[in-house]
Amino acid sequence: MFTSAIFSATFFAAWYSLGRPPHALSWSLAFLAATIQWAINVINPNYPVFGESWIAVNPMALFVITLGLKGHIQRTNCAWLPKNLWPYALMVAGAMIYATVGLEHLGLASAILPFTAGITLILSAIVILQNPKTRESVEWIAALTISLFGFVQFLITVVAFLQGPTGHPFYSNLYVMSSLIAVPATYVGIAVTVILMIAADLFKELKDQAIRDNLTGLLNRRGLAEHAAQTYALTQRSDIPVSVIVADLDHFKSVNDKFGHAVGDRALQHIADLLRADRRADDLVIRMGGEEFVLILP
């Protein structure tokens, strides 16, 4: 319970201090729901049992599952999964309540949640790896870790279902033990990998800021040194010619003198937009400084 609360506060701090990315807030709310889930378990140590505590704990766990996947969708701008996952979460909640109150089938009621968690975790791993901008080592580690926990949830699903309608003593004890070992480990493991991904995102953002001009968004001198070397090496290996254009704006000082530096900045941004709009995918556009620009065209 306290671990989930710490992770919730950590993700909230990340959301508040890093430009308020929506995925960080979703993960903060997910671990807030996990905190409430474990608090209910503390209040009722006889979990799992049929009754009010069972009906209360499962929706909290469902919040954790849904918000966790939602955070990955938001982070990667995933287009093939729905933005609104709550209708599906309500369907799962309805199935759990029906299996608990309607059928009174302990095995089925216990199996729905870990099965849903397994599906959600596998989807989260796929979302991470299908984003072309985030296929770094951290993402691979996160996807493999999340997938591993997903398969563990599938194993718990099998054990849960084997309890039968009334609860086979052996499988019920095995289900409780496996849940109390695997679920906290899953929460901690996923939280750590997600924190690493947020740190990697921050590193990429800072690195990108370091090689880009603040005013125009074009590459700066440092970006020229980094990207031009890669482009030149590629053209050498492929025996492809490369052209370099150096250009500056004539009489730019008179623009600043007559209209002010704010207008001069707008003029530079306008030229940068023109150069950026007409370039090919492999062309590099750099602002060297002042009114001087460089284009590298393989």
- At 279-292, the pLDDT tens digits run 888 888 999 888 89
What pLDDT is recorded for position 2?
Answer: 92
For tokens 């050498």, the residue is 236
Confidence band of 46 (pLDDT split at 50, 70, 90): low
Residues in the chain: 298
**Residue 295 parent element (H or E):** strand 292-297
Q: Is the pLDDT of residue 98 over 90?
A: no
Confidence band of 123 (pLDDT split at 50, 70, 90): very high
Kindly report the average pLDDT of the chain as a whole number. Answer: 87
What pLDDT is recorded for position 281?
Answer: 81
| Helix residue ranges per DSSP H, 162-210 | 169-210
What pLDDT is recorded for position 133?
Answer: 59
Residue-by-residue DSSP string for 127-160: HHHT-GGG-SHHHHHHHHHHHHHHHHHHHHHHHH
Q: Is the pLDDT of residue 51 over 60?
A: no
- Identify which of 90-99, 148-157, 206-215, 223-232 has the greatest average pLDDT: 148-157
DSSP state of 288: E
More confident residue, 204 or 32: 32
Confidence band of 50 (pLDDT split at 50, 70, 90): low
Tokens matching residue 18: 């890093």
Q: Is the pLDDT of residue 80 over 80?
A: yes
Q: Is the pLDDT of residue 58 over 70?
A: yes
Q: Is the pLDDT of residue 28 over 60?
A: yes
What pLDDT is recorded for position 52?
Answer: 59
CA distance 141 to 189: 11
Confidence band of 175 (pLDDT split at 50, 70, 90): confident
Determine contact, residues 145/189, Cβ cutoff 8 Å.
yes
Percent of the chain with pLDDT over 70: 94
Burial 28-54 (b: 16+ CB within 10 A, else e): bbbbbbbbbbbebbeeeeebbeeeebb
What pLDDT is recorded for position 206?
Answer: 82
CA distance 148 to 159: 17
Mean pLDDT of 130-155: 83
Mean pLDDT of 114-122: 94
Confidence band of 54 (pLDDT split at 50, 70, 90): low
Q: Is the pLDDT of residue 118 over 60?
A: yes
What pLDDT is recorded for position 292?
Answer: 92
Confidence band of 96 (pLDDT split at 50, 70, 90): confident
Tokens matching residue 123: 């989807």
Question: Side chain identity at 154, as an amino acid letter?
Answer: F
Q: Is the pLDDT of residue 244 over 60?
A: yes
Tokens matching residue 119: 């599906």
Confidence band of 41 (pLDDT split at 50, 70, 90): confident
At CB < 8 A and 24+ separation, what contacts does 94-97 make? 96/58, 96/62, 97/55
Q: What is the pTM of this model?
A: 0.76
Mean pLDDT of 99-127: 89
CA distance 224 to 218: 10
Residue pLDDT, tens place only, 3-23 = 999 999 999 999 998 889 999
